[in-house]
Structure 1
Amino acid sequence: MSTGNSREYLLVLFFLYFTPSFVGRFRISSELRIGEGRVRRILSELLKTGLIVRKRAGVKISARGRREVEHALLRKGINELFLSDATELNAAVVVVGIARSVQASKINVLGLRDDAVRGGALGAIISVYRGGSLKLPPADVDLCEYASNLCREITRRKSLEENALIIATFGDKLVDALSGFISLLEGRYYGELSQDSITWGTSRTDST
């Protein structure tokens, strides 16, 4: 994953990953708040590299594109990525990433949250799966007491393991939650954390 204008490239690719049907350029531009000319150039590049396919109805991510998303996440230590309802967080959608094991004492929760908010998310929830519960560092409050539906959605995931780091960014629109998630992964605090304490694994992504 890269920064700068390529963040728009990633945003388009991630948006298409979570969009099951063909979608037109105008909708992509409108929902992601990226100029239509810029979207046209990004889609042209994605087509050239085989990451999307195009029909009269619009564009859709290809199997190769899905693998590219998974590999990008894997390079950042994310094993699984999915969407969930965020009504209990006073938002519309939450993007949840499950990473490999991490030392909770080294997590800068405020820094990670600030990076997500700077990227456009309304907020972020950072938790660690420990002893069968999702703990919110540093106070170790149980996430289920704060957001029970999200907690159940996370704990049913097969990729969850002891000391796994869970990142959840939420927003009123998918673009806000996705942009915040990308910003957090590109930020200083996750970079320091992943270099020091995350064990890489095999990523899985879905939208269920």
Structure 2
Amino acid sequence: MPRKTAAGAAETRHTIVREARRLFSERGFADTATAEIAAAAQVTEGALFHHFKNKRALFEEVVNTLAREFHDEVQAVGHREQDARPAFLAATRAALIFSQGEEYRRIVLVDAPSVLGSAVAREIDSRFGLDLILPVLRALAPKGSAEPQVRALALLVLGYLNEAAFALARGDGDVDVDTVMAVLERTLDRLILT
């Protein structure tokens, strides 16, 4: 019996997150009420609050879910390549494209910094982003490169990609994925591959 209860609770939680994600994507955090999420998930508000302390905690779970999907998708693209450099470039392009999907753009790029605060949003981004970037830059770095230098470069690349994703989401006229990739490739050549 306890297994069935645990499985049911997990399924309920999953349904709440799925419906919250859909509504946050369609309406944004501010315009989505917990009563609407509960109704869409076919649970009571009490059940929703049993699983999540408040709407912000539910939103943070949605952001983490999207960040995990982003991580898994980008990593899968990178693993299709045999060598570190093409893997990094393919994964980076996939990251920029994924970040422009409507759900990710609205929830992670637009709402997360204001709802969660910049410190929490950055922590989530760094946790998933650096996990993708650091191993590849370690592989690309010349033998004997100091770890602090590689980590500093990873932070630089993560910041560059984040700002590029924000510019793409805003529709900045002179910024497109091909331009961002060309600049990144030239920068890598100068900073790490020479």
- Using the size of structure 2 for normalisation, the TM-score is 0.30
Higher relative contact order (CA 8 A, sep 6+): 1
- TM-score of the superposed pair, with normalisation by structure 1: 0.29
Which one has the bigger strand percentage?
1
The structure that is helix-richer by fraction is 2
Tell which structure's C-alpha radius of gyration is larger: 2
